[in-house]
Amino acid sequence: MLASKPADSEVFARNRATGRIALSVAADGAGGRRERVHEAGALRIRFPNVPGNNALEAVILNTAGGMTGGDCFDIDVAVRPDARLTVTTAAAEKVYRSLGPDARIAVKLTVGAGATLMWLPQETILFDRVRLRRSIDVDLSPDASLLLAEAVVFGRSAMGETVTDGHFSDRWRVRLDQRLIFAECLRLDGAIARRLAEPAVAGGRAAVASVLKVPADETVVAAVRALEKDFAG
């Protein structure tokens, strides 16, 4: 008896990249130690030794070399009370064109009382006809500290690339002691290049970035504004 040939949709699904990381970090005398590390699929996490740095540093790697339509990544990071953790990536994440379905990235960050998390990945680079749906959910305990920076590049200008068409949705929710303190949604659908040219969107630039610091006050804001002359791009 001959097995039936799998449908194109089945073949497509079998060749999609999936990945999951679940990391928890507990406090110790040096700032942080690995409590639990779980890796699955295309995602890996490494912990380089950083001389003179008391905070534990974690580097996320995507062994698939990028993402495309139908790929799904889940990242769950928990920093226990009084621990310190810096998370970055080994390279910029590249999200290529899709033949239909969305690529999906879901990030969940939990920071305990008195703990510090610095979420500083390299930029996400989107290619023409991309389809990406991303969510970032953060739960902060009282006295927790967070520095979160995310940059998105729409095509590599030096390579002559332009993201003319595609879909990108980005949803952020940050809660402090279970109370919503920050919510942001970005959605670019269809003619992305035309939307980026609008003054209220990107003013013709090819990248956007958000930096969020909790807690912060007017002193922090003034310090950032004082550096404005050094910003470029």
Q: How many CB atoms lie within 10 A of CB 93?
A: 21
Q: In 3-state terms, the chain is what percent helix, strand and coil (to 5)?
A: 10, 50, 40
**Considering the chain, what percentage of its residues have pLDDT values greater than 90?**
70
Helices and strands in the chain: count of H runs, count of E runs? 3, 15
List pLDDT tens digits, range 35-70.
999 999 999 999 997 766 667 999 999 999 999 999
pLDDT at 2: 56
**Cα radius of gyration (the chain):** 19
Structure-model confidence comparison of residues 50 and 229, the more confident one: 229
Partner residues linked to 186 by β-bridges: 170
**Considering the chain, what percentage of its residues have pLDDT values greater than 70?**
91
Tell me the pLDDT band of 201, cut-offs 50, 70 and 90: confident
* Rounded Cα distance, 148 and 107, in Å: 12
Partner residues linked to 90 by β-bridges: none
Q: For 122-188, what is the HEC assignment? A: CCEEECCCEEEEEEEEEEECCCCEEEEEEEEEECCHHHCCCCCCEEEEEEEEEEECCEEEEEEEEEE
Exposure class string for 129-167: b at 16+ Cβ within 10 A, else e: bbbbbbebebbbbeebbbebebbbbbbeeeeebbbeebb
List pLDDT tens digits, range 166-199.
999 999 999 999 999 999 999 999 999 999 999 9
Mean pLDDT of the chain: 90
Tell me the pLDDT band of 5, cut-offs 50, 70 and 90: low
H-helix or E-strand spanning residue 196: helix 192-196
pLDDT at 58: 96
**pLDDT > 80? residue 31:** no
* Rounded Cα distance, 33 and 47, in Å: 10
List pLDDT tens digits, range 94-112.
999 998 899 999 999 999 9
At which residue do the structure tokens 């990406």 appear?
Answer: 132
Domain boundaries, the chain: 15-230
The DSSP symbol for 9 reads H
**pLDDT > 80? residue 77:** yes
